[in-house]
A and B are shown apart, each in its own frame.
Chain A
Amino acid sequence: MLDSAAIEDFILDQKKYEENIPYESFLPENVKFKTYEAKLSEVYKDGKRADGRTRDESRKMYIKLGALVEARGSCYLEIGDTKVLCGVSGPREIPYLQGYTELGSVDCVVESNPASPSDKAYSDALKRALEPSFCRHEFPNLEISVSVMILDASGSALAAAITAASLALAHARLPIFDILTSVTVGLHGDLLFIDPTDKEEALCMSYEKNSASQNHGLITLSYMSTADQITHYYQNGEMDLQLLLDTMDIGISRCKDIYALCQQRLMDEVKISMKTVTDTQNVEDSMKNLSTS
């Protein structure tokens, strides 16, 4: 007997069989099945990676603060090909709040694609990463809204998003304990790749069955340099214990390097806005200019 419940179940079952078949599976055999050496050499050959870097070089970073004029604070960040745009607004009342919260909330939304819904996992990770750096006790019952749009995810997307969000918070003149810098480090065999591209990330998440070392994986971490605090840490893959700790230390020192760069960029931005203040005679005008620069 076919009733509505049975039809519902049938539809759910059909969805199980709908799978996205990647186009690679239709390629001819000789192209599809490469040897491990061939796959590795595509990404890393003769001590140089596909884009010419050495294994411990990060990609070039480009930071533009104030990219979004309408937002209270914003930051556009490029790490190599990865492009991230972040906007910060607020503080405003927490919607539908019943009761009293002593600590303000940071509401994060990370989108990879305007058409698709927000990536919940990234949004949660970003929120947890930002919370320790933000002075939440100064905003009881209020929330700060952080929106991140990942325009191009070519490796280390979440790391870029965290750094961009933190810079946007600083640009928004919101009280923070320290800015966050975030980095991804990949491991494959015993090779360490700092700031991997998406192809390198895929390599680090795979392992070669017959090789001596089965270590592989990715570590994403975000770090407050002055306060010496790790605010976000995600590791996936199989790694020997000591190797894991060493990789983490390398990640932290790289975060410190990026921190210096971000600090300099923020100082430049302050100088530009201060210049606007000292140039004009009318204080009111200069305040207006300060908020829109």
Chain B
Amino acid sequence: MELLNDQGLRLDGRKPDELRLIKCKLGIFTHTDGSAFVEQGNTKVIAVVYGPHEVRNVHRAKTSADGAFVNCQYSMAAFSMSERKKRNRGDRKSTEATIHLHQTLAAVIRTELMPKSQIDVFIEVLQSDGGNFAASVNAATLALIDAGIPLREYVIACTASLGTGNVPMVDISNLEESLGGPTLTVAVLPRSSQIALVEMSQRFHLDFLEPVLKMAMKGCDYTFKVLDMAVESYLSEIGKPNNWGQA
């Protein structure tokens, strides 16, 4: 199977610089402070935010007078992959993703405004088809916005890879990932064009780093536009009925 066929199309018919369809919804749960659902192609992710609240007893050691403590958990449902696999909470992949998520979110959350408190961000991956971590970061951003937690700006993540003939491709699906190409995941602050996280699954030649990184950041820009529109429509949906609190 070729990642890019002779017409220059990928396995699912996309062009190399085309992203999958993105659908999202904020505020899917009522019992949480913030929640969001993001669907990128076949990847479905739920993010939930609790906080800011008092640091829970379990994490008491991590209370800090400098700022809030961000507690993340990344978990994949047992039915998320096509091969059913029950993942334990503390297993290697989940722990790694949790640490990366923490790193990414700590870059945007204005923790200094909420000292001695805790913010919980929980991710549940319902269906996994490549770009799980990227979708999780996007969902976490939306959930944080829904929770009203002060952020510097959005943090958007996207994946990119190299196709046949060293053509950079954006938004990698599971099939393309498993065919062995290197996958680069980038988390970006779109307005300030700053990078919060870069992760590579495999090594590839330094010459190709720039084009692939550029492709990923273009993907992030596009995703940012889509998510921003979703946030605007959600806010007007909530605010308009009582005329933004002035009814």
Q: Which A16-69 residues sit within 8 Å CB-CB of chain B?
A: none
Would you mind naming 11 contact pairs between A and B with Cβ atoms under 8 Å apart?
A: A1-B180, A1-B202, A4-B92, A5-B91, A5-B92, A5-B93, A8-B91, A8-B92, A9-B85, A12-B85, A98-B57
Give Cα A141 to B202, complex, Å.
55
> In the assembly, what is the distance between CA of A8 and CA of B85, in Å?
12
Whole-angstrom distance between the Cβ of A292 and the nearest chain B Cβ: 41
Quote the shortest CB–CB distance from B96 to chain A (angstroms).
Answer: 9
Question: What chain B residues lie within 8 Å of A5 (beta carbons)?
Answer: 91-93
Closest B residue to A98 by CB, please name it. Answer: B57
Query: Shortest beta-carbon distance, B90 to chain A, in Å?
Result: 11
Distance (whole angstroms) from the CB of A100 to the closest CB of chain B: 14
B-facing residues in A46-102 (Cβ within 8 Å):
98
Measured in the bound complex, the distance between the Cα atoms of B92 and A4 in whole Å is: 9
Beyond A1-B202, A8-B92, list 7 extra A-B contacts (CB 8 Å): A1-B180, A5-B92, A5-B93, A8-B91, A9-B85, A12-B85, A98-B57
Distance between Cα atoms of A8 and B57 in the complex (Å): 32
Number of interface residues of A (CB under 8 A): 7
**When chains A and B are docked, how far (Å) is the Cα of A149 from the Cα of B87?**
33
Note all chain B residues with C-beta closer than 8 A to A1. 180, 202
Chain A residues, CB < 8 A from B202: 1
Question: Which residues of A sit under 8 angstroms from B180, Cβ to Cβ?
Answer: 1
- Residue interface mask B179-208, A partner, CB < 8 A = 1: 010000000000000000000001000000
Taken together as a complex, chains A and B put the C-alpha atoms of A264 and B143 apart, in Å, by 65
Please indicate the chain A residues that have their CB under 8 angstroms from the CB of B93 in the complex. Answer: 5
The 9 closest A-B pairs by CB, nearest first: A5-B92, A5-B93, A98-B57, A8-B92, A4-B92, A8-B91, A9-B85, A12-B85, A1-B202
Cβ of B135 to closest chain A Cβ, rounded Å: 20
A9 CA to B87 CA, complexed, in Å: 9
A98 to B58, CA, bound (A): 11
CB distance from B245 to the nearest CB of A (A): 38
Interface residues of A in 200-221 (CB under 8 A from B): none
A102 vs chain B, min Cβ distance (A): 20
Task: Give B123 Cβ to nearest chain A Cβ, in Å.
Answer: 18
A8 to B95 alpha-carbon distance, docked (Å): 14
Interface hits, B48-64 → A, CB 8 Å: 57
A98 to B202, CA, bound (A): 47
Q: Chain B contacts of A4 at CB under 8 A?
A: 92
User: For residue A96, which residue of chain B has the nearest CB?
Assistant: B57
Nearest-CB residue, chain B, relative to A3 = B92
Q: Name the residue in A4, A12, A98 with the highest tally of chain B Cβ atoms < 10 Å from its Cβ.
A: A12
B178 → A minimal CB distance (Å): 10
Chain A: minimal CB distance from B191 (Å): 35
A12: chain B residues at CB < 8 Å are 85
* Complex Cα gap A64–B92 (Å): 52
